[in-house]
A and B are shown apart, each in its own frame.
Chain A
Amino acid sequence: MRSFILSKVEVLLAMTIKFPIQRFTVFGNSMLPTLKPGQDVLVWCWFLKLKIGDLVVFNRGGKEMIKRIHLYHGRSIFVLGDNRKESTDSRSFGWVDKSEIIGKVVSFNT
């Protein structure tokens, strides 16, 4: 019984608390030349202090995307892809709210 309750707690924790470090694999060309498709990034998700120039992962309509912060206004964040010619970003979908941010990239393999 105890283990049953524990496992329920674990599941709940996993659902509510974000793991502090998450790994993502990049799909698409919009972050070239910084990030290539297929490249892995390590994202820090706790106690975020965001600043202009940070690479962030955010959730937009159920889709997790990666872009760079270009402007910051209160809770609203304007993000752009490094590859302007091939990027769908705040120019088309508008500002991203801070609550949509999953984390910021702390490391990526080169």
Chain B
Amino acid sequence: MNKLISKIFKLLPSRPVYAHCDIPCGMYDPREAQMAAATVLKMVQKLKEYPEDDLNNKVRAITIKEEHAQICKQEILILWTDYFKSEHLEKFPDLHDLIWKTAKLCSDNKRAADETKARELIESVDKIAEIFIQTKK
């Protein structure tokens, strides 16, 4: 019975209907990734500033660092999968490698609370942002 219904179903002509999302789609911005990377560094610095026994603030700083490293990774991956096209890759052949390494840096920054790693992340994200700006020209 179900098969019959689905056969009839397929006989009908189909028209497109839009489950529309024209506001967020097509709008890309590397600034969120940059903000998230800057937050990671800020949290690493805060973590050092808080006294040893201020566990509450230490845990907060770690949580925020963790969250923003994830946001940063997510934003970069969205740019990678949704924004950058093959013609961008022709112009910037090391784009894949740069994004892959930046995503790895996000993970490194989750694992450790290291200022150098956080600064490296900021630099890498800035490089991606720079490429983004170039592609907009």
Contact of B14 among A25, A57, A81 (CB under 8 A): A25
CB within 8 Å of A: which residues of B?
Answer: 6, 9, 12-25
Contact of B6 among A28, A64, A65, A109 (CB under 8 A): A109
Judge if A22 is at the interface, Cβ distance under 8 Å: yes
15 further contact pairs, Cβ within 8 A, besides A28-B19, A66-B17, A109-B6: A23-B9, A26-B19, A27-B17, A27-B19, A29-B21, A29-B25, A30-B19, A30-B21, A31-B19, A41-B17, A42-B9, A65-B18, A81-B21, A88-B22, A92-B23
CB nearest to A19 among chain B residues:
B12
Is A28 touching B20 in the complex (CB atoms < 8 A)? yes
Can you list 30 residue pairs at the A/B interface with Cβ under 8 Å?
A: A21-B12, A22-B15, A23-B9, A23-B13, A23-B14, A24-B17, A26-B17, A27-B17, A27-B19, A28-B21, A29-B19, A29-B21, A30-B19, A30-B21, A31-B19, A32-B19, A42-B12, A64-B17, A64-B18, A65-B17, A65-B20, A66-B17, A81-B20, A83-B21, A87-B19, A87-B21, A88-B20, A88-B22, A107-B9, A109-B6
CB nearest to B22 among chain A residues:
A88
CB within 8 Å of B: which residues of A?
Answer: 21-32, 35, 37, 40-42, 57, 63-67, 81, 83, 85-89, 92, 107, 109
CB nearest to A108 among chain B residues:
B9
Contact of A63 among B6, B12, B18, B23 (CB under 8 A): B18
Bound complex: CA A86 to CA B24 (Å): 6
CB nearest to A40 among chain B residues:
B14
Is B25 touching A23 in the complex (CB atoms < 8 A)? no
Q: Which residues of A contact B6 (CB under 8 A)?
A: 109
Known: A25-B14, A85-B24, A86-B25. A37 touches B9 (CB 8 A): no
Bound complex: CA A64 to CA B24 (Å): 19
Known: A85-B24, A86-B21, A88-B21. A24 touches B16 (CB 8 A): yes
Bound complex: CA A64 to CA B19 (Å): 9
Is A27 touching B9 in the complex (CB atoms < 8 A)? no
Q: Which residues of B contact A30 (CB under 8 A)?
A: 19-21
Q: Which residues of B contact A66 (CB under 8 A)?
A: 17-19
CB nearest to A30 among chain B residues:
B19
Bound complex: CA A63 to CA B15 (Å): 11
